[in-house]
C-alpha cells in the first residue's frame, strides 16, 4: 500500500505554496491546553477562517484522488511535507496571553453601580476563599480545583455573595477558554490587589479544575465572630504562622460586610477600594465600642462609620498578634512586602505545579 501511495504522490502535481498553506489550515485542528496536563478541551480555535474559504473542498478532492493510499498517508502523518498533518496543534499560553487576561479583568473591575464602585474586593475574596480551604495534613482543598462552582461548597455560609464574583468573570472565561477557572480566579484576585494600589504578587499558572467530588466540608474558612484560638486553628491547619495570620488579615483594608451575606455591616476603612495599611492604623488608633443593633456582635468607631469584627479585635488582644499589627501600622512598605509573600503562599497551597513553571509578574494598568 505504501509503495502505491508513493507512486501516486510522485505522479500527482506538486501543490503550490499557497495550496500548501490552505491545506495546512484545514488539517491542523487546534486544541487549547493549560501549561499542565488537565482535562483537554477540544474544538477551540485561536483564529477564524475567512469568508468563502474553499479549503475543505480542496483537501477533500486531494484525499479523494489519493483514495485509500491517501488515508494511509494521512493517518500515519506522512503528508506533513505537504502541510497536511493528523497531529493536533497544541496551544501553550505565554506570559503575554496571561497578561491579556489580566488586562481584561482590570477593565471590568470598576462599576459605579456595584458596592463602593469596584469589584476588586469581591474578586480578592473569591481567590482567598477558594484557597483558604486547604488542609496540609489531608492535602485537600485549596485553589486547585475551583470547587466553589458546585454545591454544597458554593452554599457554605462563608461563601455567601461570591456568586457575584464568579458570574463577573464568566465573560473572561468565555473569551479565553484555555484558562482554567482555578487559574482565572487566582489571576483575578492578584489583578484586584494590584489595581487597588497593592503590591505586586507573583503568579504561577498550573491549576486544574475538579468536579463536585472534590468539594471541601464546611467550616474550613475563618469565622469572623470568633477570636485568637479559632484563628490559630484555622490558619495553622493551612501551614501559616502568627505573623502570616496578621499579614493576611490586612486584606480587610478593602471591601465591606453586608447584612445579606455575612450578617455584619459596614467597611473596615474609609477607602474600601484601595489597598493600604489603614486597617492596622485604625485598629490601633480608633476607640472601638460594641454596636447596639439587632445583628451579630460587631464593633464601631467613634463616627459610627467603620466596623471591626471580633476576629479583628483578637489581633489586638493577643500579644503575639499585636506586635505585627504595630509593625504594619508603622510601615506600609513592610506590610506590602510581607502581604505579597503570604498571599502568594495562600494562592499556591496544594497546587501541583509542573516542574519549570515560570513565575509571572503582571504589569498593572497604572504602571
C-beta separation of 294 from 333 below 8 A: no
What is residue 76's three-state secondary structure? Answer: coil
In tens, the pLDDT along 53-83 reads 555 555 555 555 556 555 555 555 565 566 6
Residues in Cβ contact with 89 at an 8 Å cutoff, skipping those fewer than 6 apart: 28, 29, 30, 31
pLDDT, position 104 = 98
Per-residue pLDDT band at 18 (split at 50, 70, 90): very low
pLDDT of 199 over the 70 cut: yes
Cell of 277: 495599611
| String of DSSP letters for 107-137 | HTTB-TTSTTTBSHHHHHHHHHHHHTT-BTT
pLDDT of 24 over the 70 cut: no
Round to whole Å and give the CA distance between 128 and 130: 6
C-beta separation of 1 from 69 below 8 A: yes
Catalytic pick among 128, 185, 268, 288? 268
* Cα distances (Å, whole numbers) of residue 239 to 181, 235, 247, 341, 346: 24, 6, 14, 14, 9
Give the pLDDT mean for 112-133: 98
Per-residue pLDDT band at 148 (split at 50, 70, 90): very high
The alpha carbon of 265 is separated from its chain's Cα centroid by a whole number of angstroms, namely: 27
Mean pLDDT (the chain) is 85
Round to whole Å and give the CA distance between 301 and 297: 14
Please state at what angle helix 181-195 crosses helix 120-131, rounded to 10 degrees. Answer: 130
pLDDT, position 90 = 83
**Active-site residue, 156 included:** no
In tens, the pLDDT along 204-239 reads 999 999 999 999 999 999 999 999 999 999 999 999
**Active-site residue, 268 included:** yes
State the SS3 of 194-263: HHCCCCCCCECCCCCCCCHHHCCCCCCCCCCCCCHHHHHHHHHHHCCCHHHHHHHHHHHHCCEECCCCCC
pLDDT, position 223 = 97
In tens, the pLDDT along 249-290 reads 999 999 999 999 999 999 999 999 999 999 999 999 999 999
Cell of 217: 466540608
| String of DSSP letters for 255-311 | -EE-TTTTS--EESSS-TTS--SHHHHHHHHS--EE--SSSS--EE-TTSS-EE-HH
What is residue 140's three-state secondary structure? Answer: strand
pLDDT of 46 over the 50 cut: no
Catalytic pick among 129, 156, 252, 324? 129
pTM: 0.78
pLDDT, position 343 = 98
pLDDT, position 185 = 98
pLDDT of 142 over the 90 cut: yes
Q: Give φ, ψ of 165 to 5 degrees.
A: -70, -45
Give the pLDDT mean for 332-348: 98
| Percentage above 70 pLDDT, the chain | 76
Amino acid at each position: 500500500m505504501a509503495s502505491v501511495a508513493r507512486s501516486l504522490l510522485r505522479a500527482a502535481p506538486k501543490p503550490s505554496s499557497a495550496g500548501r498553506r490552505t491545506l495546512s489550515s484545514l488539517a491542523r485542528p487546534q486544541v487549547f491546553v493549560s501549561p499542565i496536563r488537565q482535562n483537554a478541551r477540544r474544538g477551540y480555535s485561536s483564529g477564524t477562517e475567512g469568508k468563502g474559504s474553499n479549503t475543505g473542498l480542496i483537501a477533500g478532492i486531494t484525499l479523494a484522488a489519493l483514495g485509500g493510499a491517501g488515508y494511509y498517508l494521512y493517518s500515519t502523518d506522512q503528508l506533513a511535507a505537504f502541510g497536511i498533518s493528523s497531529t493536533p496543534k497544541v496551544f501553550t499560553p505565554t506570559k503575554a496571553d496571561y497578561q491579556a487576561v489580566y488586562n481584561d479583568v482590570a477593565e471590568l473591575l470598576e462599576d459605579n453601580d456595584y458596592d463602593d464602585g469596584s469589584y476588586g474586593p469581591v474578586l480578592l475574596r473569591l481567590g482567598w476563599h477558594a484557597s483558604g480551604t486547604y488542609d496540609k495534613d489531608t492535602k485537600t482543598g485549596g485553589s486547585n480545583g475551583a470547587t466553589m462552582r458546585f454545591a454544597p461548597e458554593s452554599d457554605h455560609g462563608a461563601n455567601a455573595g461570591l456568586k457575584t464574583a464568579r458570574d463577573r468573570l464568566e465573560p473572561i472565561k468565555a473569551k479565553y477558554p484555555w484558562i482554567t477557572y482555578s487559574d482565572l480566579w487566582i489571576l483575578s484576585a492578584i489583578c484586584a490587589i494590584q489595581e487597588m494600589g497593592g503590591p505586586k504578587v507573583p503568579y504561577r499558572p498550573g491549576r486544574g479544575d475538579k468536579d463536585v467530588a472534590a468539594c471541601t466540608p464546611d467550616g474550613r474558612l475563618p469565622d469572623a465572630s470568633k477570636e485568637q484560638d479559632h484563628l490559630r486553628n484555622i490558619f495553622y491547619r493551612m501551614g501559616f504562622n502568627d505573623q502570616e495570620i496578621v499579614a493576611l488579615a490586612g486584606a480587610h483594608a478593602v471591601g465591606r460586610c453586608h447584612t445579606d451575606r455575612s450578617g455584619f455591616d459596614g467597611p473596615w476603612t474609609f477607602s474600601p477600594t484601595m489597598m493600604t495599611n489603614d486597617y492596622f492604623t485604625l485598629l490601633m488608633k480608633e476607640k472601638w465600642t460594641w454596636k447596639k443593633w439587632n445583628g451579630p456582635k460587631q464593633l464601631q468607631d467613634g463616627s459610627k462609620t467603620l466596623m471591626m469584627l471580633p476576629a479583628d479585635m483578637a489581633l489586638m488582644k493577643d500579644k503575639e498578634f499585636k506586635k505585627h499589627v504595630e509593625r504594619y501600622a508603622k510601615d506600609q512598605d513592610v506590610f506590602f512586602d510581607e502581604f505579597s509573600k503570604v498571599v502568594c503562599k495562600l494562592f499556591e497551597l496544594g497546587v501541583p505545579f509542573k516542574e519549570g513553571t515560570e513565575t509571572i509578574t503582571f504589569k498593572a494598568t497604572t504602571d
